[in-house]
Each structure stands twice: as C-alpha cells, then as structure tokens.
Amino acid sequence: MSTTQTSYTHDPVDLPGAGKSHQAFTNLVARAANLPQPVSVGVVWPCEQHALEGAVLTARQGLMTPVLIGPKEQIRALALTSGLDLGQISIVDEATEDSAAQRAVSLVKDGHVQALMKGSLHTDTLMHAVVAQQAGLRAARRISHVFLLAVPGYDDLLFVTDAAINIAPDLAAKRDIVQNAIDLHLGLGLGTPRVALLSAVEVINPKIQGTLDAACLCMMAQRNQIQGGILDGPLAMDNAISPEAARIKGLQSPVAGRAQILVAPDMEAGNMLAKNMIFMASAESAGLVLGAEVPIILTSRADSVQARLASVAIGALYAQALADARLHSKG
C-alpha cells in the first residue's frame, strides 16, 4: 500500500555563520546568482527570525526575488527587531497560516511566483494546500521529497529520496519518486544520474519487498517507463557508494560504487540515512519537494546559512529549468 505523509553575478555578502561549503553546493549557488533574472519565490509565513532572515539574505545574494506571504505588520515588526532591511520586498497580507498557504498556491496558478518556500509554518499546513484535490498544485506524478547532501570526501552530490513524504510507497509510487529525482538531477545540469535502488542486500530475495521493487524498477527503466537515468538494484548501501565494496562483491555496473541518487525502500530508511549523513558525516543538506506544478523549498530552523543558500539556489535553478521546458514545449 502506498501512503503519503502530509505531516510534511552578485557580490558575496558577509553571511553570519557561513562556513566552507562543499564545492558542488558552491557551484549551484553561483549558477543561481547568475540567472538572467532572479526567480520569484513565494515565502509562506516568514514569521520567525530564521525564516525571514533566510528570505532576506538569499535575496541579497541574488538567488531569488521573494514575495512574503503572511501578516504584513507582524512581518515588518519582526524585520525591525531583527535588524533586517526589507527594502522593496513585496508582502502579501494574510492573517492565518492556512490562508497564507492557500494564497501561495493561488499566486503560483496566477503566474506571480515560480516556486514556493516554507517559512515558519508547519509543513503539514503548506502541503495540505499544495495537494488539495481541486485548488492545489498536483501534477501527473506523486509528490515526493529529495534531500541533496554534500558529503565531505564524496565528489558528487548525493540525492536521497524519499525521506519525508511517502511513508510506504508501492511500486507505482516508487516509479514516480525515482523519476522526480532523475528530473531534478537533469534539471540542475548535473548530467545523467546513476541511480541506486537500495535494500539490505544486493541480491533479489522474495522475502524482502524492496529487492523485488528494485528489480521491477530496473526493468521499467529498460522499457522506458523511467527515463533519463541509469538504474541498478537492489544494492546495499556499501556497494552503492564504495567502489571497493562493489569490487569485493563482484558487482559490475555503471552504478555500483558510484551512485548519485539513493532511492530508499521506505521513508523511515530514507530519513535515517539522510540524517546519519548530516549529523554523523557532517554533510551539508538541502531539501526540495518535487512533483507539484512548481518546486517547493523546505528549510528548517536548524539549517545552517549554507544549507539555506543551497536550498534556495537549487529551487531557483529547477524552477527556471521547468519554466524553460514549458516554453520549449509551447514553441
């Protein structure tokens, strides 16, 4: 059974707390800052300092043009007490979190913003408006989440999916999860991704559903039901990212030992994997919700300044890629 969780160039500025970033994130931030014009992003309910500061700092970096959605006077007062200059940043006045989330969806549909960014409201509230059957931003595919992780010592960005939305995805949901991640990798200009379908073992075991799903997904890719990536699985975590582990196990594939997208069998495994990398391997992280009409940037109050910059940069680059693709399809 498939279940969706809805608990869900500019001169550099001196950013407080900014440290040395992984080169992959640095490159993406630089590319986003050099887009022909900053992407318009609806920042939903930026009513705590971390959320408002993130929007203002990323705007100063030229990564986006924020449209703040929430109680206007409260946001202005927060900016004043936090020492933040809002300048010409637009504020759309909404009195409640629910109405702010619904207004954000309307701004997308009206073409006023190209992406959304979670402020200080709960993810549930924002995603409820996004996935609403009639008025929401559902597209053809299931909505999913990707963690992008810059791990010290690993040259490529690692995409981990799904670690936040789909609790126990079935095969059809996993197909969408994989395709969403591939499309993001391609949209960011990172090339054809090597996709590892993770399980506890690297052989098919009928008692382990994840190994059966991995084998089916590989066949789906061969039949063009999944496009744009190179898939292999099932793969255990060690032989997905370690060339030596793959060699010892005798695995010969373009993915084993060199994976760029790690597809977890379920949300619990994905979430633990991503947070292990963040808290035990000192990985910088960024997060994006995919599969809706526009990308949705998710940040948390615990994120570093670099993580906020990376999340916005990735959201902006992918929003621009989607806009270019729509324009190309019309042309």
Q: What dotted CATH number matches 21-138+292-331?
A: 3.40.50.10950
Cα end-to-end distance, the chain, whole Å: 40
84's CB contacts (< 8 A; 6+ apart) are 52, 53, 56, 78
In a 10 Å sphere around its CB, with 0-12 CB exposed, 13-18 middle and 19+ buried, how is residue 35 labelled? middle
Q: How many CA atoms lie within 13 A of 74 on its CB side?
A: 16
pLDDT for the residue numbered 7: 37
Domain ranges of the chain: 21-138+292-331, 140-291
Peptide bond just before 93 cis, omega within 30 deg: no
* Amino acid identity at 26: T
pTM higher than 0.75 for the full model? yes
* Per-residue pLDDT, 9: 36
Per-residue confidence (pLDDT) for residue 326, from 0 to 100: 83
Strand order, beta sheet including 90-93: 90-93, 64-70, 39-44, 115-118, 296-297, 284-290, 144-150, 158-161, 261-263, 194-198, 230-235
Question: Do 21-138+292-331 and 140-291 agree at the fold level?
Answer: no
> Domain 140-291 in CATH: superfamily?
Isopropylmalate Dehydrogenase (3.40.718.10)
Q: Which residues of the chain have pLDDT under 50?
A: 1-20
3-class secondary structure, 77: helix
SS3 content of the chain, % helix, strand, coil (to 5): 40, 20, 40
Q: What is the dihedral of CA 229, 153, 29, 288, to 10 degrees?
A: 50
CB–CB of 54/29 below 8 Å? no
Which string of DSSP letters, residue by residue, matches 22-70? PHHHHHHHHHHHTSSSPEEEEEE---SHHHHHHHHHHHHTTSEEEEEEE
Residue 188 is encoded by which pair of tokens?
Answer: 């960011």
pLDDT value, residue 2: 42
Q: What is the pLDDT of residue 248?
A: 95
Strands in 79-203 per DSSP E? 90-93, 115-118, 144-150, 158-161, 194-198
